[in-house]
Structure 1
């Protein structure tokens, strides 16, 4: 069937950073449901191992959790090497690991700024660089970077006061476009998803304090749930998007309009 060819992912290998919890786990689930073998990594290896065990049991596909500090080149190299040894290939990379720090600009510590940039931007660069080497050899790959609507527009401080985070996500969006341009010749597709507000551990405090106001400002009047990214991820990971690269897709209920 044409539909099966469009969304065929059977036996592909997907790497998801920050894949043990939250949105990363949900993205891993939709890929596993479509037949992907998945390698999950984060600094908290226990979360990844538990998520991998659940995916194996539920979908009967190979899944494994690893520890990786995405902002450290040696850790990234070791992780990618392990995945290649154990899975044989990497077809899909989702750069989902991220962190934030809420503070006004004038009060934000330098170390907080650097931590956010190191994890969100440098981590995406290092993981893409290392996985990209394998994809170049294969002459194929799908890279999906997780940006944010916060990197597309300037939020008022009463809604979001995290300039390091928003700056890092704007950087991810341009990184996506630039890398797509550079690696198109290798048949490597690079796209990004820019989520709006979702219920995650990172946003729970903000949503508890300001959730009603955020929903009022959203054209669809709601907050994203754990399934809201799955369709976008499936599209970008599968042959359905084989004429799409360098694009930023906002999944935000219209908040970026």
Structure 2
């Protein structure tokens, strides 16, 4: 058994949505350090371009701005990627949104925006990129990694109804898609992050000490924690993980009961 290349992504191509900041950026940097060619997408072109420029100091990183919440945006992103790559080894569906409002006032806009981006986009982007993933799956598996949330596994006390539902749906969608695509040598899995500092998780970013008190491990997640989980699933090391969701949260899911 040769384990020296087990976690290597050398020569692999990867597309990460929501890659300009937060968890997406953590994964992008990790993939670059393992030798992958990385393409990051985000709705805000300026931020996406700036992050790609910074990460290019590590390796091959290209900005492909776009909005994957619509089918038109999905097709535009696929076309942009095809200008650079004929095949795709790794797709990370990370772009996401959240919305909180009291139950009696929760708006339809807060439902549609979140569910379209968190649940619909991963399905239709993967569907559109399946020919490129299939073409990459030669002497190795192609990988699809959905970024879910522990809020899809256990209940968060906050009133984020559409977010929780969309992430629970994504975890089950991961299982269904995995069964369909595994015979085509495309392994689908997911990560359910806990508290990581990001624009979406402002509590973890701005009140890390307070949040850490609710986490059994006593701290919020670091870029290394997220990169390590994603590298495991994307590399040869994670080839036998099919349809499962890896919880990366310092134990908080089980502390919630």
Is TM-score (shorter-chain normalized) higher than 0.5? yes
Structure 1: runs of 5+ lacking an equivalent: none
Match of 1:179 among 161, 167, 177: 177
- 1:206: how far off? 7.0
Match of 1:198 in 2: 196
- Listed one character per residue, the Cα deviations across residues 147-182 of structure 1 (whole Å, up to 9, x for unaligned) are 0000001122xxx22111111100110011110011
Q: 1:89 to 1:137 in 2, by over 3 A?
A: closer
Match of 2:159 in 1: 161
> Residues 1-257 of structure 1: matches in 2 within 5 Å?
2-57=2-57, 59=58, 61-139=59-137, 140-156=141-157, 160-205=158-203, 208=206, 212=210, 214-257=211-254
- Tell me how many residue pairs correspond in the alignment: 251
Aligned-residue Cα RMSD (Å) equals 1.8
1 CA distance for matches of 2:250 and 2:22? 19
1 CA distance for matches of 2:134 and 2:51? 29
- Listed one character per residue, the Cα deviations across residues 25-84 of structure 1 (whole Å, up to 9, x for unaligned) are 110001011111011101111222122122222x2x322101111111122112112212
- 1:226: how far off? 2.6
1 CA distance for matches of 2:105 and 2:81? 41
Q: Would the aligned equivalents of 1:84 and 1:90 in 2 still touch at CA under 8 Å?
A: no
2 CA distance for matches of 1:106 and 1:227? 40
1 CA distance for matches of 2:11 and 2:204? 39
Q: Would the aligned equivalents of 1:89 and 1:134 in 2 still touch at CA under 8 Å?
A: yes
TM-score of the pair, normalised by structure 2: 0.92
2 CA distance for matches of 1:221 and 1:210? 10
Q: Would the aligned equivalents of 1:229 and 1:251 in 2 still touch at CA under 8 Å?
A: yes
- 1:208: how far off? 4.6
2 CA distance for matches of 1:218 and 1:67? 35
- 1:85: how far off? 2.4
TM-score of the pair, normalised by structure 1: 0.92
2 CA distance for matches of 1:48 and 1:11? 23
2 CA distance for matches of 1:231 and 1:43? 26
